[in-house]
Structure 1
């Protein structure tokens, strides 16, 4: 919702200020469809040239993050800590039983209790692959942390593709606006025999191209790229939390200490309070006992 508010503010302040200052909106409205066709058409064409099919779909999907915000909410971080606690408790007390949860997460009652987390294949894979490796004595905390960090970094780099693509488009839009303006000037020069009033309107229409290129770049596409990057960065904390808890486990800490390490390493805006987590863990212990 806040994204739509921002768009409304941009339009209201730019065009409202122009009209209040005595500007004639008719010139912009007349020229805008043709200028937008040239500018946005060229920008979309360049976007298609610079991306494969997967990259195009990825970017179009990620544009929605501007309005939806991060996928992982504070509730999900609390659920993740509870899930990790349950798995680590079993790993400490009954390692053989852990295999049934790790080998088939979809059939695991522990994973099934958190359907949103279970639906995230990469998050589940980080947990199950690491616990499976630990059961095979690949449990050097420093080595596992390095492997997890590289894997998370690779996924993060892939996720940032859409933000980079949108930023590249934003960087190119002012130049494409100049291209449209130059074409407008060429059109005007071909009508140099017209009276000044007509030429003024044609030059004004040509300058709309420059205006739209800059306006779209810095008013919309650039902020979209920045917002997508911020959302991806915030979602990345979810996977970093998985790494912190697993590495703490490999350092032979108790499960409740492991999840507390993860809680402390979660950003304040997403971090559950100590009492909130304790209450959730108490419920988890009761479910384990049952």
Structure 2
């Protein structure tokens, strides 16, 4: 929704200002220029990225129209779920969660949090490290190092699409210049064969290419990469929060304290108060 609102503001501001200044919108309607810019940018995008990146881009782009899922409520669900898991471990031993880890979709604990169970990367992260903890006494330092590498790998992989889109956005002004140069070439070859009054129109059409390249690159395509980076940062924060809680538990802290560690690494916009989280956990455990 906000993407469409932002695009609307861009269109209204740029084209509305042009009209208010006395310009005529039909002068900006240059489909051939758009073909050159989009075609050139798309071709360069295909050349500059492998098949994995291309598939990931096609899969990821539709998500930009979706609002964020990572609200304060979801973070509180994560903290409450981790508290229940760690409490069960502390009370009944590590083997008590074996069935939950092996089949989270049918787990009573995971089933209480439908928003989280849809976050497959997060659930896999939790289950993988609980499975390692099940295998025996694991050194907390080694587990933390492995978690850091795991999160770093996800972070690098998640930025592939946004970096590819950024490069495409950076190249669109250049393709706009190419379109403008082609327009100027057409104008110069028309000298003597068209009336002088028409030469001005041809020059104007050529300049539209530069305008469209810059507008599309910085007003439409570039912001999508920034938005994707923000979405990936939210997933990363979920993983970091989980890591802090599990490492605190491995170091011997009680579930209440371990969850508090996780609460403190949340951004201030999503971080619940201590008593607020305590009440939420109590309510979640009675479900």
TM-score by length of 2: 0.94
How far, CA to CA, are the matches of 1:23 and 1:196 in structure 2? 21
Measured after TM superposition, the shift of residue 285 of structure 1 is 4.0
How far, CA to CA, are the matches of 1:17 and 1:99 in structure 2? 63
How far, CA to CA, are the matches of 1:71 and 1:168 in structure 2? 27
Kindly indicate whether residue 46 of structure 2 is the aligned counterpart of residue 48 of structure 1: yes
Q: What root-mean-square deviation, in Å, do the aligned CA atoms of Structure 1 and Structure 2 show?
A: 1.6
TM-score by length of 1: 0.93
Contact 1:69–1:231 (Cα < 8 Å) also in 2: no
In the alignment, which residue of structure 2 is the partner of 1:61?
A: 59
How far, CA to CA, are the matches of 1:217 and 1:284 in structure 2? 47
How far, CA to CA, are the matches of 1:147 and 1:262 in structure 2? 18
Secondary structure at 2:211 match in 1: helix
Measured after TM superposition, the shift of residue 45 of structure 1 is 1.5
In the alignment, which residue of structure 1 is the partner of 2:127?
A: 128
Contact 1:185–1:206 (Cα < 8 Å) also in 2: yes
How far, CA to CA, are the matches of 2:184 and 2:278 in structure 1? 69
Gaps of 5+ in 2: none
Measured after TM superposition, the shift of residue 275 of structure 1 is 2.6
In the alignment, which residue of structure 1 is the partner of 2:259?
A: 259
| Compared CA separation, residues 115 and 286, structure 1 to 2 (3 A) | closer
CA-to-aligned-CA distance 1:189-229 (integer Å, 9 cap, x gap): 12111222101000110111111011111111111211221
| Compared CA separation, residues 284 and 18, structure 1 to 2 (3 A) | closer
How far, CA to CA, are the matches of 1:149 and 1:272 in structure 2? 25
Measured after TM superposition, the shift of residue 138 of structure 1 is 4.3
Contact 1:263–1:272 (Cα < 8 Å) also in 2: yes
Kindly indicate whether residue 30 of structure 2 is the aligned counterpart of residue 35 of structure 1: no
Measured after TM superposition, the shift of residue 65 of structure 1 is 4.0
Kindly report which structure 2 residues correspond to 1:176-215, keeping only aligned pairs within 5 A, or say none: 176-193=175-192, 194-215=194-215
In the alignment, which residue of structure 2 is the partner of 1:144?
A: 143
Contact 1:71–1:235 (Cα < 8 Å) also in 2: no
Gaps of 5+ in 1: none
Measured after TM superposition, the shift of residue 81 of structure 1 is 0.9
How far, CA to CA, are the matches of 2:160 and 2:68 in structure 1? 16
